[in-house]
Chains A and B, each alone.
Chain A
Amino acid sequence: MHNGGALPGGVLLPLELPQETPLVGEKDVENRYSSAVIVKAEVAPGSERHCSGVLLSPRLVLTAGHCVCQERMTASPAGEEQGLMDASSCAKMATVATVMLGLPPEGVGDFEEYDKAIRHYQGEVSPHPEFKISLNSEGLATSSHANLAVIRLNKPVEGRFPAARLADTEVRPNESIIMVGYGHGGSTGDNYGVRLFGVAKVMKATGPGNERVMWEHLRPNAFGGDGGGPCFRRLARSGELVGISVKGLGGQTAFTSTYAYRGWLLSEINRAGRVEPVTPSSGE
């Protein structure tokens, strides 16, 4: 119960809001990583998942499969119940939001406040055809493959939101990367739309085709990414995408290599680019 209601005598009170958890990580107030977007999908009725994603073209967003698909229970070959996520149980549509962030023109005391321009789009979800995650009874992933999904937007994003470029080479151990995303995967109110980033270091790649890349923090309290959020190569031209964070699957510090899925991604970008452009309205 909020305490913003009326007293017995009826004085209207200011509305007290709950405290927010402070965001941990660097705030992208220079909009260096504006290709990173918010992704929201109703994976089951009444169950909305909040993640991040990245623009691959003005009409195409890449995120993690687990951000837009729902777990279902199946029997394992040994007869035990296990969780399974695959391309057959995904949301049809997702909401994507672009964010321009700015510092207010002056300090506002000990509050962290950011000027923001947030715009939402709708798009059709299309997981990688081989997307498959098995989960144990604690909800931890025991195996994961092709944890990627694209969202084809109904219309191109408006404004200057440069798309991320796919890396031409796989990341190597000890390379520095930048994790980008929207904190807590579902911040609301003042923290909604505050884009964060943090530096991390690549450890090793595992899995078929080295699709799973483990990383570690370079310093304590660095931003650790958000499910579906992009990982960029640090010392390359900005916006060189190397992976998509798997955060949200049992606390693993790993990302799915986009290099390993370059062929599929290029064909999706190509397909999104072939969509008939919206005819500009005439007479103005």
Chain B
Amino acid sequence: MRHHQRLFIQILSSAALLSVLGGCFARTSVEGPPAPRRLTVGPGKPDVANRHLSSVMIKASVEQRDRSICSGVLISPSLVLTAGHCVCKNGRRVQGPNGEERLVFNGSSCQQRVIVKTYVYNPEQENLDKINDPDDYDALTRHYTGRVQPHPRFEVTLIGSGSAAAGTERRLDDYYVESVRADLALVFLTKDVDAKIPIAELPDDEVPVGTRVELVGYGVGYGQQKPGEQMIELRRVGDNKVKDKKELVQSEALKGVLADAEKIVFDRTGALALGGDSGGPCLQMKRNAKGAVVFSLVGIASWSTANESIFTSVYQHREWLGERKRCSRNEACRSRVIEQSETH
């Protein structure tokens, strides 16, 4: 543990923040799987051990002054994977033949650029277990910007419930999910993140039901906080096991969403993704050929109810992701993505 502390101190000890950021991020050496423990819905616990530095926070659009946050994960030093619905929020209303109203989000609903933030915490901070305000954690935060590229087949369709009163616009709450497809988007960063920030690996195979994974995100944490004082903008990690889709309650609302092979589901026997955790990863701890701990990316948080979380399988999109990852490491290819004309 002294190792962590030393690295953190080094970061903080330079007069010129930016010059040091290139040097020495705290990096945790992960020892074995997390101890089994009783979990409740939601928050997991703060990742002050820096186990998941590859998980980043995604902030809003740089063009609009909205302040929404999502989560994401680095799959190369200059490429972040998140949920399509996090960065493609300008849905289009479509009137159906029978008067039903749909709200459609796809590749033409996306923002151009977003902010990506990396967070490094200090495992040796005093009184860590007594902190109840996210600001009170020692943290090194760094910002990057990047260009959004949604999955080519990304589409979320919501359908209006009941009939909206004449002349009024339906609120988002009045829609149900009809379908969710390829809820993924990439963010091509204009520069690499610090070399010491690890990268999540793309998976070699689909995870079987029952696999233990870790869910990571910067969204809402329930807990002892009072209303309005949730632990947001703090990286949290919780565990869960991949659940068999057949075992979930097959409500009408769920059917359309679960039809795809690309969905990975969790129930509330473990941690779930909550608002703001959208786009965050679930990761499987593995050992590479040298015996070192690596995290294999299993899924990206797409949606949740109070009882289950649905993630988009990364394995099912591995070809697209592999190709885009190579592009992010090729300067010419990456520049083309970043400098695309501002119109679609």
Interface residues of A (CB under 8 A from B): 1-20, 31, 34, 40, 95, 98, 100-106, 108-111, 113-122, 154, 158-160, 188-189, 192-193, 281, 284
Given A110-B65, A119-B8, 19 other A-B contacts at CB below 8 A? A1-B227, A11-B158, A11-B177, A12-B85, A12-B301, A12-B303, A13-B85, A13-B172, A14-B68, A15-B232, A20-B67, A31-B15, A108-B145, A111-B65, A118-B140, A119-B122, A120-B136, A154-B126, A158-B12
- Supply 25 A–B pairs (Cβ within 8 Å), ascending by A: A2-B275, A4-B219, A5-B274, A7-B172, A7-B173, A9-B176, A10-B254, A10-B305, A11-B85, A12-B85, A12-B301, A12-B302, A17-B68, A17-B69, A95-B136, A98-B12, A100-B12, A105-B18, A111-B60, A115-B142, A117-B11, A118-B140, A122-B126, A189-B233, A193-B135
- Is there a chain A Cβ closer than 8 Å to B201's Cβ? no
Q: Which residues of B are found within 8 Å of A189, using beta-carbon distances?
A: 135, 233
User: What residue of chain B has the Cβ atom nearest to residue A187's Cβ?
Assistant: B135
- Is there a chain A Cβ closer than 8 Å to B304's Cβ? yes
Q: Which residues of B are found within 8 Å of A40, using beta-carbon distances?
A: 136
A118:B176 contact, CB within 8 angstroms: no
Q: Which residues of B are found within 8 Å of A120, using beta-carbon distances?
A: 125-126, 136-138
- Is there a chain A Cβ closer than 8 Å to B191's Cβ? yes
- Is there a chain A Cβ closer than 8 Å to B86's Cβ? yes
| 6 nearest CB pairs, A to B | A4-B275, A109-B62, A15-B276, A9-B177, A159-B13, A14-B68
Q: A7 with B141: in contact, given A12-B273, A106-B190, A111-B60 (CB under 8 Å)?
A: no
- Is there a chain A Cβ closer than 8 Å to B230's Cβ? yes
A14:B70 contact, CB within 8 angstroms: yes
Nearest CB in chain A: distance from B150 CB, A:
14
User: What residue of chain A has the Cβ atom nearest to residue B6's Cβ?
Assistant: A284
- Is there a chain A Cβ closer than 8 Å to B9's Cβ? yes
- Chain B interface size range: 35 or more
Nearest CB in chain B: distance from A114 CB, A:
8
Taken together as a complex, chains A and B put the C-alpha atoms of A111 and B62 apart, in Å, by: 7
Give the residues from 123 to 147 in chain B that come closer than 8 angstroms, CB to CB, to chain A.
125-127, 133, 135-145
Q: Which residues of A are found within 8 Å of B141, using beta-carbon distances?
A: 115-117
Give the residues from 28 to 70 in chain B that come closer than 8 angstroms, CB to CB, to chain A.
59-63, 65-70
B113:A6 contact, CB within 8 angstroms: no
User: What residue of chain A has the Cβ atom nearest to residue B142's Cβ?
Assistant: A115
User: What residue of chain A has the Cβ atom nearest to residue B136's Cβ?
Assistant: A120
- Is there a chain A Cβ closer than 8 Å to B94's Cβ? no
Q: Which residues of A are found within 8 Å of B156, using beta-carbon distances?
A: 11
A14:B176 contact, CB within 8 angstroms: no
Taken together as a complex, chains A and B put the C-alpha atoms of A7 and B232 apart, in Å, by: 19
Mask, B55-92, CB within 8 Å of A = 1, is: 00001111101111110000000000001011001000
A11:B18 contact, CB within 8 angstroms: no
B86:A14 contact, CB within 8 angstroms: yes
Q: Which residues of B are found within 8 Å of A13, using beta-carbon distances?
A: 68, 85, 172, 275, 278
A7:B158 contact, CB within 8 angstroms: yes
A108:B143 contact, CB within 8 angstroms: yes
A115:B21 contact, CB within 8 angstroms: yes
Q: Which residues of A are found within 8 Å of B250, using beta-carbon distances?
A: none
A31:B17 contact, CB within 8 angstroms: yes
Q: Which residues of A are found within 8 Å of B67, using beta-carbon distances?
A: 16-20
